[in-house]
Chains A and B, each alone.
Chain A
């Protein structure tokens, strides 16, 4: 068999795909929740960046993984709250406010990296903790399956569980019902006494929470340091992943998985003599293509009516 195909049909590939999917799945869940409430959140890029940075710095200075987790999440949720405050209370355009917050995140993290680590590129001089990998008791013993699904970072499992939490939240809780109601028709929701502003704020805070976990995974699981702009567009890819999946739990999961697979493929292809620039291009080209195909299908289905 062709060596490339061989490596694709291996346990390693599945393992790597789950690793790569994690930092897309978290923010994608965040995007999906805000989209369901009728807002677009393109600030996940900045939210992840701030959380990734906060986690590394807090873990390096306190030596506590728990504190890193808590402060990382607080930082992400704080960014989301800022977005919510500017959009909902100060009536800022949510897209421009999010662009500003992404800039803010990029600037402040490099600024503080320099203050804390005296380097503008990375915090590698700070000793960051990482979230542990987990061996799943029974699955670990099964020959091939074990190598695929056991021994991953704990946050990867959290991401998978988050899909279920997302489902439960949206379909089985009063808040989920309100979020969907507000997203479908805010005026109708308002007329039956739903506080639209509050619901939108909650959904933004939730997206900040999931985005924060994605950021923490990047700097304290995927690698063990923070580097400038390390999110590398994942917060934007997450928007594509969620919209491919129709902002639904399982759809968002498969959307993210698709980008995970393409990204992993790019990593595996790098061993061949193909220019790395072209391989790195694949996930972004795929996003545009998938979005286009998805939108074309949708417009065909609706029969081209307005």
Chain B
């Protein structure tokens, strides 16, 4: 009976864990079907990320931009704004942030901070456009933010390619950033950099913001029920815009952190996909900033495992994308396991009735 109470209390979390386990089981199945030596492939996939210090480093480095992406997605999602423009905000924040860092110089101690704020503002602007269009004229933010991802990509590419391209390099990269804006890599043998600390700090800030400030409360109420929020006196016009602006800001910072921490120059010829990863971890983490930390680590684990497997065996890493989609489908399917919950609830209620009766 105690177990049943526990299940009811943490039902959403247990459901998520079961979805994740099913995803992992499907990947095991896929590996057994297509790999010539499934045992090895599976080992590379599941234990690969922990085998060397470098790989553990990879895991944390991979988790960093995903965490930024997830936080950036969680705020508009909490307000029920389906803005998926974080991909573009990350890309453009990084591209224009790089351009900014290469064009202007500041004293070393504040250089990095100013560049990050600039990148954040670019991202915020990118969130503002779908935000104002939605709040004022009810333009569907999903479609407009999707389109703006492509605009951001081509605009960023144009700026780097035509104005900041390092022509001595054989491929499309910007000039190297000045040293003061590099984020220090502080664990030898890895590329783990200050950005990961920044990402975790952001996660706690977003948590505090959403759950302990007035605006955060208004965002959650608006997401919970727009009309209810409106009649309760919340300025939903402001909330719709701000949730997307703040999300965009975090995305812009996240993009620039990746450039300043890992690459030290802009080198994304393709959009890196952290915005979409953000959607994935936001859904797995139920839009809760602290759970998104765990979800980001999990996704990074799958990614690095997929890469190790791709490198050392015959299973392509895209398997991970397929697994992610299955996990998300299961989590978003409300009816998944709802029968189970229903049965437990009924049994609990019956028991309670019996004990109530015997008490009287």
Which residues of A are interface residues toward B (Cβ below 8 A)? Answer: 40, 42, 86, 89-93, 95-97, 99-101, 103-104, 106-108, 110-111, 114-115, 120, 233, 236-237, 239-240, 243, 275, 277-278, 280-281, 284-285, 287-288, 291-292, 295-296, 298-299
Q: Which of B319, B320, B324, B333 is in CB contact (< 8 Å) with A92?
A: B333
Task: Given contacts A100-B332, A277-B161, list 11 more A-B pairs with CB under 8 A.
Answer: A42-B142, A86-B329, A91-B334, A100-B325, A101-B325, A104-B329, A115-B316, A237-B147, A243-B143, A288-B147, A295-B137
CB<8 Å pairs between A and B, sample of 26: A40-B142, A89-B335, A90-B334, A91-B333, A96-B283, A96-B332, A99-B84, A99-B276, A100-B326, A100-B329, A104-B321, A104-B325, A107-B320, A107-B325, A120-B318, A275-B161, A277-B154, A277-B157, A278-B158, A284-B148, A284-B154, A288-B148, A291-B133, A291-B144, A292-B139, A299-B136
On whether the beta carbons of B144 and A278 are closer than 8 Å, the reply is: no
Given A90-B336, A107-B318, A277-B161, the answer on whether A100 and B154 have CB atoms closer than 8 Å is no
B146 part of interface (Cβ distance < 8 Å)? yes
On whether the beta carbons of B150 and A281 are closer than 8 Å, the reply is: yes
B82 part of interface (Cβ distance < 8 Å)? yes
The tally of CB-CB contacts under 8 A between chains A and B is 140
Contacts of A275 in B (CB 8 A): 158, 161-162
On whether the beta carbons of B328 and A295 are closer than 8 Å, the reply is: no
Contacts of B334 in A (CB 8 A): 90-92
Q: Which of A42, A91, A107, A298 is in CB contact (< 8 Å) with B319?
A: A107
B350 part of interface (Cβ distance < 8 Å)? no
Q: Report the bound CA distance from A110 to B155 in whole Å.
A: 27
Smallest CB gap from B146: residue in A: A236
Contacts of B154 in A (CB 8 A): 277-278, 280-281, 284
Contacts of A89 in B (CB 8 A): 335
Contacts of B326 in A (CB 8 A): 100, 104
Smallest CB gap from A277: residue in B: B158
B343 part of interface (Cβ distance < 8 Å)? no
Contacts of A288 in B (CB 8 A): 129, 133, 144, 147-148, 151
Q: Report the bound CA distance from A40 to B333 in whole Å.
A: 17
On whether the beta carbons of B333 and A86 are closer than 8 Å, the reply is: yes
Smallest CB gap from A104: residue in B: B325
B322 part of interface (Cβ distance < 8 Å)? yes
Contacts of B332 in A (CB 8 A): 86, 92-93, 96-97, 100
B29 CB to nearest A CB, Å: 14
Given A96-B328, A277-B161, the answer on whether A114 and B147 have CB atoms closer than 8 Å is no
On whether the beta carbons of A97 and B144 are closer than 8 Å, the reply is: no
Contacts of B155 in A (CB 8 A): 277, 281
On whether the beta carbons of A108 and B322 are closer than 8 Å, the reply is: yes
